[in-house]
Amino acid sequence: MAIDPAARSVAVLGPQGASSDLTYDRLIIATGARPVLPDIPGINLPGVCPLHTMGDALAVNDLLERASSSCSAVIVGAGYIGLEMAEALVGRGIDVTVLSRSGRLFPTVDTEFGTAIKNELARHGVHVVRSGNLEEITAAGDGRRLVAHSSEAEGVTADLILVAVGVQPDSRLAASAGVTLGTNGAINVDRAMRTSVPEILAAGDCAETWHRLLQRNLYLPLGTTSHKQGRVAGETAVGRAGRFEGCVGTQVVKLFDLVVARTGLLDCEAREAGFAPTTVETEAWDHKAYYPDASKLRLRVTGDRATGRLLGAQILGTWGKAEVSKRIDVFATALFHEMRVDAMSDLDLSYAPPFSSPWEPVQMASQAWSARL
Amino acid sequence: MAIDPAARSVAVLGPQGASSDLTYDRLIIATGARPVLPDIPGINLPGVCPLHTMGDALAVNDLLERASSSCSAVIVGAGYIGLEMAEALVGRGIDVTVLSRSGRLFPTVDTEFGTAIKNELARHGVHVVRSGNLEEITAAGDGRRLVAHSSEAEGVTADLILVAVGVQPDSRLAASAGVTLGTNGAINVDRAMRTSVPEILAAGDCAETWHRLLQRNLYLPLGTTSHKQGRVAGETAVGRAGRFEGCVGTQVVKLFDLVVARTGLLDCEAREAGFAPTTVETEAWDHKAYYPDASKLRLRVTGDRATGRLLGAQILGTWGKAEVSKRIDVFATALFHEMRVDAMSDLDLSYAPPFSSPWEPVQMASQAWSARL
C-alpha cells in the first residue's frame, strides 16, 4: 500500500496482485501497533511466539495442544500481556516462568503493589526471574525444546517462549507518505486527530495520545483511547468539530484473584512532570465488614502538595468482590475534572452495607491523604 | 433535654434524674429521624414492630426465635427498609407478604425497574399486595397471630408485622429552642449547616439536605449525606469555612440477586423541576461477553433535551457481578460536575475484558441517549 498525498490517492494491492488506486477526500490511518521483537539469535525459531494477531494466538494454542502433558513456557516480559498470559497458561496446567528484565512486575503501578502481584503469581506456581536482557534463544539438547538465555539469569528451558516486551506504533505507511512522526515514532496528531499532512488523519495505536494531566502528547496505546480517537477522527473527517479530550492513564488488569488498577500519574511520573507529589496508601474494607464477604482494598492516592490537586490513584483488591475497576473510574472521572483530593469527600457516592461504607473507600483514601498533609 | 439559646446552655437529664446545665459556644443538633407510625387501631399490639433502633431489631429477632417453624410476616412499605427486610426474613425461612400502598415497589426508581424487582421478589416467594392504606391491626382468632387490614386488600394474617413506611425528621428539640423548621419539618439549614438560631447548627437526618441539581433544600435522609453534613457542621463549629456541596440523590440497594442504583433525577422529578428530560434505556453486558460469566446490565439515562445536560441515571444488574454501585458512582461524579450526556464518552474509564468494554456501559448508555436525540 502507498499513499500519494498530492493526488489524494492510495495504491492498494488487490487479491490477484493487481494494484488499484483509491482516491480520498480525507484519509484516516489506523494501522495500529506491532510487537517489539528483540533482534537476537534464535528469535525466529519455531516455538518462539509474539502475541499480536489472531494467528499468533492460534499458533500458541496449536503448540500447546501438540505439547506433552508436562508442558512448560517462558514468558519474556512482565507487563499486561505477559502476566495475563501467565494466568492463562497456568489455567491450562502449564509450568510458567516469567523473565522480567528489571525484576519488577507490572511497572505501571508502584513497587508496593508489584510485590503483592509477585506473591499472587508465586501462589499460583509462576516462577519470576530477574533476567536482564534476553540475549539468545537456542534449541535444547533434546532437539524439541528451547532455551532462553539472558544477561542476568541462567538459561531457562521450555516448550514455548512467548515474547511480550511491548509494542511500537506501526507508522511505516504514514512515514512513507511524508507524515510527521512524534513520540516513540508514533504519528504526530493534534486534538482533532489531524496529522502534519492535510486531509490525512490518524487514530489508535499508530498515533500519539494527548495526556490530559501532562497536557502533552505521549505514546500510550490502549483500546479505550483508540475507540475515542477513532470517533474523533471520524468526526473531523466529515467536517464536524470533534476533539479528543485526552487520556488520564486509566488501566486495569486481573491477575488470578487480584485486580490492580491505576489512573493518573504515579508519584515518580508526577515528580518528573514538575508536580510536588505525595502518595499515601490506605487500607479499607470494600464494604461494611459486618456484612458477609468483605475484603480488604489497598488504595494509593497521589496528590500535589502545592495545590492539593488529585494527581493519581492506584487500587488493589480481590477479583469478583471489590469493584476495583469502577472505583478507579471514580478517580478517573475526578481527574478528568481536575478535582482536589479533599473535594473527593464532597462526591455523593452510593452506599449500602453490601457495597461500601458511608464514606466510600475512595473517599477514605483521599481523607487519609489530606490528613497526612 | 431543653436548649436555652439566650443562655447558650442545654439542660440535660442525668442518669439519676438530676438535671444539669451544659453551656456551649456552638451547638450541633443531630437528633436524626424517627419512623413514621400510622395512627391506627392496633399499631401498639405486641408483634407490631417499627424498624429504627437496635432495640427494634433485637425485638424482631426475639419474636422470630420464639415463633413456630412456619412463621410468617407482613411488611408494610415497599421502600428500602421494607424490601431489605423482606430479603432478610426470606433468608430465615419466613413467609413474607409486602403491603405496598400503590402496588409500586421501590418508587425511587422508574416503574420499568420496579417490575424487575417485583419479579425478583416473586422468584424468592415474597407476596406483594397492592394494599391501599393500612387501616387497622387486630389479633387473629388464634390469639397468637395478627391481622393487617388495609383499604384495598383482604386482611393478611401473620406472626409479625413490620412497619416501614418512611421516616420523619426528629426536630422536636430544635423546634422547642425556636429553630426554624423547613421541608417536611426538617431543621432548616444553610450550606454551612447553620440554623436560624445563632450558634446552633444541625446535621443529618433531622435536617434539610441541599440538592445540587435542584439547587434547593429538600428532605432526603441518607447516611452518606449525614456523614458529610456532620463534617461540615464540625468545621463551621470550630470556625473553619466548611460548605456542604450537596447531594445528587445517589442510592443503591441489594435485593436478593439484584442490585438497583440511581443518581440524579428521575424523568418525572426532572420534569417537575422545569427541565426537559428524556430517558433512554440501554442493555449492555457488564463485561466482554466472550470472557466467562458476563451478565446483562440495564441502564437508564436521563438528560435534558434543551441543553444536553446529564440529569440522572439508573442501573439494574446482578449482585456480585455487575459493579452496579460503582457504575452509578461514575454517573454521580459526572452529575457533580454538571457534565453533558455526550461528554460521558470523553471519560478515560478502565477496561480489560473481565471488567468492561472499551466503551464502558455507562458510556454506551450515554451514547444511546445522544443517538435517540
Q: What is the mean pLDDT of each run of 10 residues along chain B (373 residues)?
A: 93 84 96 95 94 92 83 94 95 95 90 94 96 96 92 95 96 97 98 97 98 97 97 97 96 96 97 98 97 96 98 96 94 98 98 97 98 94
Q: Do A248 and B348 touch (CB under 8 A)?
A: yes
Q: Do B252 and A346 touch (CB under 8 A)?
A: no
Distance from the Cα of A357 to chain B's closest Cα (Å) equals 8
Which of B253, B327, B354 lies closest to A352 in CB terms?
A: B253
Q: Do A336 and B346 touch (CB under 8 A)?
A: yes
Spatial CB neighbours of A166, under 8 Å, sequence gap ≥ 6: A35, A36, A77, A79
Q: Which of A349, A357, A363, A364 to mutate to test the interface with B (most CBs of B within 10 A)?
A: A349
Residues of A within 8 A of B360 (CB-CB) are 329
Which of B223, B245, B333 lies closest to A334 in CB terms?
A: B333
Strands (E), B126-246: 127-130, 134-139, 146-150, 153-158, 160-163, 167-169, 200-202, 209-211, 216-218
Distance between CA atoms of residues B191 and B81, nearest Å:
29
Distance from the Cα of A84 to chain B's closest Cα (Å) equals 10
The per-residue pLDDT for A132 is: 95
Q: Do B349 and A358 touch (CB under 8 A)?
A: no
Three cell numbers written together for B350: 478502565
The per-residue pLDDT for A65 is: 87
The per-residue pLDDT for A16 is: 81
ipTM: 0.96
Task: Return the residue of B nearest to A314 by Cα.
Answer: B350
Spatial CB neighbours of A2, under 8 Å, sequence gap ≥ 6: A10, A11, A173, A176, A177
Three cell numbers written together for B333: 461524579
- Please say whether the beta carbons of A71 and A94 come within 8 A: yes
Q: Give the model confidence (pLDDT) of B195-236 as tens digits.
A: 999 899 999 999 999 999 999 999 999 999 999 999 999 999
Q: Which of B254, B297, B319, B326 to mutate to test the interface with A (most CBs of A within 10 A)?
A: B326
Residues of B within 8 A of A337 (CB-CB) are 333, 337
The per-residue pLDDT for B65 is: 87
Residues of B within 8 A of A245 (CB-CB) are 343, 346
Q: Do A329 and B349 touch (CB under 8 A)?
A: yes
Spatial CB neighbours of B87, under 8 Å, sequence gap ≥ 6: B124, B254, B255, B256
Between helix B111-123 and helix B80-91 the angle, nearest 10°, is: 20
The per-residue pLDDT for A18 is: 81
Residues of B within 8 A of A321 (CB-CB) are 320
The per-residue pLDDT for A350 is: 98
Q: Do A346 and B245 touch (CB under 8 A)?
A: yes
Which of A251, A327, A358 lies closest to B224 in CB terms?
A: A358
- Please say whether the beta carbons of B94 and B71 come within 8 A: yes
Name the 3-class secondary structure at A371. helix
Across the strands, what pairs with A130?
A: A100
Q: Do A254 and B332 touch (CB under 8 A)?
A: no
Per-residue model confidence as pLDDT tens for chain A (373 residues): 899 999 999 999 887 878 889 999 999 999 999 999 999 999 999 999 999 899 999 999 998 888 777 899 999 999 999 999 999 999 999 999 999 999 888 889 999 999 999 999 999 999 999 999 999 999 999 888 999 999 999 999 999 999 999 999 999 999 999 999 999 999 999 999 999 998 999 999 999 999 999 999 999 999 999 999 999 999 999 999 999 999 999 999 999 999 999 999 999 999 999 999 999 999 999 999 999 999 999 999 999 999 999 999 999 999 988 899 999 999 999 999 999 999 999 999 999 999 999 999 999 999 999 999 8
Residue with cell 499508530: A206
Q: Do B350 and A261 touch (CB under 8 A)?
A: yes
The per-residue pLDDT for B143 is: 84
The per-residue pLDDT for B19 is: 85
Distance between CA atoms of residues B346 and A221, nearest Å:
16
The H or E element that residue A61 is part of is helix A54-66
Which of A223, A345, A352 lies closest to B254 in CB terms?
A: A352
Task: Return the residue of A nearest to B328 by Cα.
Answer: A350
Which of A261, A334, A348 lies closest to B247 in CB terms?
A: A348
Which is it for strands A310-318 and A258-264: parallel, antiparallel or unpaired? antiparallel
Q: Do A345 and B319 touch (CB under 8 A)?
A: no
What is the count of residue pairs from A and B with beta carbons less than 8 Å apart? Answer: 155
Between helix A324-336 and helix A361-372 the angle, nearest 10°, is: 60
A270-274's contacts with Cβ under 8 Å and 24+ in sequence apart are A270/A302, A270/A304, A270/A311, A270/A312, A273/A213, A273/A214
